[in-house]
Amino acid sequence: MKEILSKYNFTEEEINEFISHALVIKCPKRTMLLKEGEIPRFLYCATKGVFRGGFTDSKGVQYTRTFFTPHTTPFVMSYSSFMLQRPSLSFLEAIEDGELLSWPYDYVKNLEDTSFKWLSFFKKQIDIVFSYREIKDMQTYTLSPKEQYLAFLESSSSFVHLIPQHYIASYIGITPEALSRIRKQLKTDNRVKS
């Protein structure tokens, strides 16, 4: 967390003050941080582990929409629901054992209302998330599933080994069986090129 904040011209005192208000949460694998329909009361920041956000359709099938890690998008939240304090359309779940820092909504809102520096910081974090989202949306409509998988491997090389294949398939928008065929084809292609 200190590393993130130090990039935004916060003083050591401001950083320590912010961190001192955080609650450290140990998150076992499959912990549900937020369920669909709940109003998110906390801003989470991943310090360890991988988390996913997604939604459930009317048949109970879950879809993975995004992944959160300490080094990509560390702030784990349902953004519009948190900012507007309305029921979430998505869930947030720990994929593996992890750790989070957590701040109550009222504390974060007060920082935004009283400090332009903090308002600017949180806006930049949301900009990062939306830029990831825009790239993902573009890939969904312009790349084949195989190309999407290769792009995901490239952008997620530091944590892809921690994500179960069925979550990756869901993220790409294909079945686990289709992803298995793509992976098999890629292994075959690599053997032919060697």
- Report the chain's mean pLDDT, rounded to a whole number: 91
3-class SS letters over the chain: CHHHHHCCCCCHHHHHHHHHCCEEEEECCCCEEECCCCCCCEEEEEEECCEEEEEECCCCCEEEEEEECCCCCCEECCHHHHHHCCCCCCEEEECCCEEEEEEEHHHHHHHHHHCHHHHHHHHHHHHHHHHHHHHHHHHHHHCCHHHHHHHHHHHCCCCHHHCCHHHHHHHHCCCHHHHHHHHHHHHHHHHHHC
State the pLDDT at residue 130: 84
CA 54-59-61 angle, 5° bins? 35
Q: What is the pLDDT of residues 92-121, one digit of tens each?
A: 999 999 999 999 999 999 999 999 999 999
The length of the chain in residues reads 194
What is d(CA 135, CA 171) in angstroms, rounded to the nearest whole number? 13
Q: Are 1 and 68 in contact (CB under 8 A)?
A: no
What is d(CA 69, CA 46) in angstroms, rounded to the nearest whole number? 6
What is d(CA 67, CA 64) in angstroms, rounded to the nearest whole number? 8
Q: Are 34 and 78 in contact (CB under 8 A)?
A: yes
Q: What is the pLDDT of residues 48-73, one digit of tens each?
A: 999 999 999 999 999 999 999 998 88
State the pLDDT at residue 12: 92
Give the amino acid at 101. Answer: L
What is d(CA 78, CA 32) in angstroms, rounded to the nearest whole number? 13
**pLDDT class for 191, splitting at 50, 70, 90?**
low
Name the percent of the chain lying above pLDDT 70. Answer: 98
Give the amino acid at 36. Answer: E
